[in-house]
Structure 1
Amino acid sequence: MPLRKLMYLLLGSLGLALGALGAVLPVLPSVPFLLLAAYGFGRSSQRLDRWFRGTRLYRENLADLAAGRGMTRRAKIRIMVTVTLFMAAAFLAMDAVAVGRIVLAFVWVGHVFYFLFGVRTLPDDEEKTDE
């Protein structure tokens, strides 16, 4: 296996592991890590990409977003709260770095606007598809 494909495989595996943890732990968002897994597996091999897209973890957390339909309100809130908490901790840790705080604030605002206005919120009856 070429080194490039191996790196994508490792990236996909790391994303899958963290995404699986995020599906269980309320503090860790699963969607960004599952997106990372989809990207890594998609670049490493078609077989792994097909396998990953067939998993329940992918279907329940990422399939609607990847298909362009959107995300459930619960998933959006979970991601926004988690990212906000992590960014708040980083913001507090950068008390001597004003530029870092400004950049972080802009990234946070962009993140919130993206999830509020850029990602469609699915109605409750569309929450569980492909079951």
Structure 2
Amino acid sequence: MLFVIGGFLALGLGILGIILPLLPTTPFLLLASFCFVKGSERFERWFKGTKIYQRHLESFVRERAMTLKKKLTILLFADAMIAIPFFLLNSIIIRGILLFIILYKYYYFFTKIKTVQTNKGVRHPVKNSHGV
């Protein structure tokens, strides 16, 4: 039951992330998916049938790929969250661990997750009157 509640909380934050550019949508929806998988087969099926899942997660789950914009949004939001304890705490050990986490997530995102081009704004060559 806790996983289902966590799934709905993460889903709510993911939906807020669609509306608010400061919140990254994908990590919250991935968390919601994880929670629903662990919590209830029924809620997992329901979530995977929603347009939110299909629009924001399905291609990532299937292809393990993201656009560069989506990667940077996630990484920069995570950096902002990590910066809070980094500057509030004076422990060199904790700061070192946080720096390691930052470096590792950039390594992971750019070596393990493919970067795909978005279809928006793609210009196709215009043919002249001769069809060339």
Normalised to the residue count of structure 1, the TM-score between the two structures is 0.83
> Where does residue 93 of structure 1 map in the other structure?
88
Residue in 2 aligned with 1:42?
Answer: 37
* Counterpart in the other structure of 1:106: 100
**Which residue of structure 1 lines up, in the alignment, with residue 109 of structure 2?**
115
Which ranges in structure 1 are unaligned for 5 or more consecutive residues?
A: 1-5, 127-131
Instruction: Mark the runs of 5 or more structure 2 residues left unpaired by the alignment.
Output: 121-132
Residue 57 (str. 1) matches residue 52 (str. 2): yes
Alpha-carbon shift at residue 105 of structure 1 (Å): 0.3
Mapping of residues 58-77 of structure 1, within 5 Å: 58-77=53-72
The answer for the alignment partner of 2:24 in structure 1 is: 29
Q: How many residues align?
A: 120
Q: 2:9 aligns with which of 10, 14, 20?
A: 14
Identity score, percent = 33
**Superposed displacement of residue 43, structure 1:** 2.0
Bigger fraction of residues in helix = 1
**The residue matched to 2:119 in structure 1 has which SS?**
helix
Matched residue type, 2:113: V
Return the offset for 1:41.
1.1
How far apart are 1:34 and its partner, in Å? 0.8
2:69 is the alignment partner of 1:80:
no
Q: SS state of the match for residue 67, structure 1?
A: helix
Q: CA deviation at 1:79?
A: 0.6
Normalising by the residue count of structure 2, what TM-score does the alignment of the two structures yield? 0.83
Structure 2 letter corresponding to 1:119? I
CA contact (8 A) 1:31 1:61 kept: yes
Q: Provide the secondary structure at the position in 1 that maps to 2:110.
A: helix
Cα-Cα RMSD: 1.6
What's the offset of the Cα at 1:103? 0.3
Per-residue CA deviations over 1:59-116 (Å, capped at 9, x if unaligned) read: 222111111341112211111111112212221112x111110000000000111111
